[in-house]
């Protein structure tokens, strides 16, 4: 049995007898720039990744932005998948790093907006 088909008629992913996608092959196609494979990857993993990120950030819009960043990282780094973990674990780890970096950046911006404690003090006369 095969999954959705791309423009060339080749399957985007294959399904084994137990119903599991050959995700390593899907990542290989993503690494070659196959947009249909990326869309299939997003459909397969997007909701789970969004749920994980949303648990941490608590804001849907921010979570969606982070998921988009994570999926862009998947697009750019699909060739770096070594197969040492499941694809889902790999993409969730990417999303966690994206979340951490985004939240760290937010904290720095917020702290950077504060006036230093000595602001408003005058020099002793």
3-state SS, 40-93, equals HHHHHHHHHHHHHHHHHHCCHHHHHHHHHHHHHHHHHHHHHCCCCCCHHHHHHH
pLDDT class of 17 with cuts at 50, 70, 90: very low
| Chain-centroid distance, C-alpha 75 | 9
pLDDT surpasses 60 at 8: no
Q: Which two tokens stand for residue 71?
A: 């999926």
The pTM (predicted TM-score) of the whole model is: 0.68
Comparing CA positions, the residue from 70, 114, 106 lying closest to residue 90 is: 70
Q: Which two tokens stand for residue 28?
A: 């290989």
CA distances 59 to 35, 50, 52, 53, 86, Å, are 28, 11, 12, 9, 27
Average pLDDT value for the chain: 78
Could you read off the pLDDT of 18-39 as tens digits, one per residue? 334 588 889 999 999 999 999 9
pLDDT surpasses 50 at 2: no
Q: Which two tokens stand for residue 120?
A: 């408003």
């Amino acid at each position: 049995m095969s999954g959705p088909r791309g423009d060339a008629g080749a399957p985007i992913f294959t399904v084994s007898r137990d119903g599991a996608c050959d995700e390593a092959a899907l990542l290989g196609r993503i690494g070659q720039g196959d947009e249909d494979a990326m869309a299939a990857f997003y459909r397969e993993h997007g909701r789970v990744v969004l749920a994980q990120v949303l648990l941490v950030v608590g804001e849907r819009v921010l979570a969606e932005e982070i998921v988009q960043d994570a999926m862009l990282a998947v697009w750019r780094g699909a060739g770096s998948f070594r197969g040492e973990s499941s694809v889902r674990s790999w993409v969730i780890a990417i999303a966690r790093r994206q979340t951490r970096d985004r939240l760290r950046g937010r904290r720095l911006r917020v702290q950077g907006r504060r006036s230093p404690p000595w602001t408003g003090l005058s020099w002793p006369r």
